[in-house]
Amino acid sequence: MAEPTEKTIKQLFALSGNICAYPECQLQIVERAGTVTGEICHIKARHAGGPRFDAAQSEEDRHAFANLILLCRHHHKVIDSEPDLYTVDALTEMKSIHENVAGRAETQQDGFFAKVLLNQFRKISIANNSGNVAINSPGAIQAETINVKTTAKKISVSAPPGTIGADQDVSRYVQHLIKRYNEFAGSDLTRKTSFSYGAISRNIESNFGAEWRLLPLEKANAVFEYLQGRIAKTRQARINKGKGYRAFSTYEEFLAKHEC
């Protein structure tokens, strides 16, 4: 299957400055510890049916420098989930502005990083897998897309390093807020529609572009504020406030109380 050349990715990495191209995002493409947290993204989709796919585009142009941009995983999902907002022109301008600001001359090390990014990019199919697949883990399978054929009814994805789900304290507090919201909102007998306990997690994914466990740790405070705001708007929280009771603990209070 066609893919970008190592020379192209080396140039792309140098001009990215090792930073996600999304405006004001400061996440590194490859962290100092060697963890790959960014992805090679296509402005015009790699496959038919993908966002902004151009059937008239040649395979060579599809994987050429002009059609590629480096983004963190979160913003890769954001731009692909809203192709009408993140158009080809918008992404091309985003790429150009970022490269003019963050770009630098190529170094010898960029060749190594290009190899790493291409290893992550390549699609790997795993047949008859009966065990675990580790993504973004030293010594494990590295890929952008992994197809797993299994008889298991459910496949779980462990949160990679640097995400909310990988931080036990932050993850427990998010779960605490979700539980509190469901407790308050689910007890509202004045609701005109049936209550879904899974809706709040889906709302987080819709608002932030990914499942909360897979969001970068830098998004934790924003997720806290979102959930706290949703709790505060529930009928039970308003009743409690009128009685002088608080609806939830702060992150610091939660850690102190549970000795996390």
Q: What is the pLDDT of residues 45-76, one digit of tens each?
A: 988 889 999 999 999 999 999 999 999 989 99
CA-to-CA distance for 242 and 131, rounded, in angstroms?
Answer: 53
**Taking 50 as the threshold, does the pLDDT of residue 203 lie above it?**
yes
Looking at the chain, the number of H-run helices and the number of E-run strands are 10, 4
Give the DSSP letter of residue 219. G
**Taking 90 as the threshold, does the pLDDT of residue 122 lie above it?**
no
Q: Grade residue 138 by pLDDT with cuts at 50, 70 and 90.
A: very low
User: Under 8 Å CB-to-CB from 193, ≥6 apart: which residues?
Assistant: none
Pairing label, strands 146-148, 124-126: parallel
pLDDT number for residue 16: 94
CA-to-CA distance for 95 and 12, rounded, in angstroms?
Answer: 10
Report the alpha-carbon angle 43-116-109, nearest 5. Answer: 105
pLDDT number for residue 3: 87
Segments in 124-248 forming alpha helices (H): 168-186, 199-208, 220-232, 235-242
Q: Find the mean pLDDT for residues 209-220.
A: 89
CA-to-CA distance for 256 and 126, rounded, in angstroms?
Answer: 44
- 84-93, 154-163, 199-208: range with lowest mean pLDDT: 154-163
Percent of the chain surpassing pLDDT 70 = 84
Q: Grade residue 192 by pLDDT with cuts at 50, 70 and 90.
A: low
For 13-47, how does the pLDDT look when each residue is reduced to its tens digit (9 = 90+)?
999 999 999 998 989 998 887 788 899 999 999 88
Q: Which helix (H) or strand (E) holds 72?
A: strand 68-72
pLDDT number for residue 126: 38
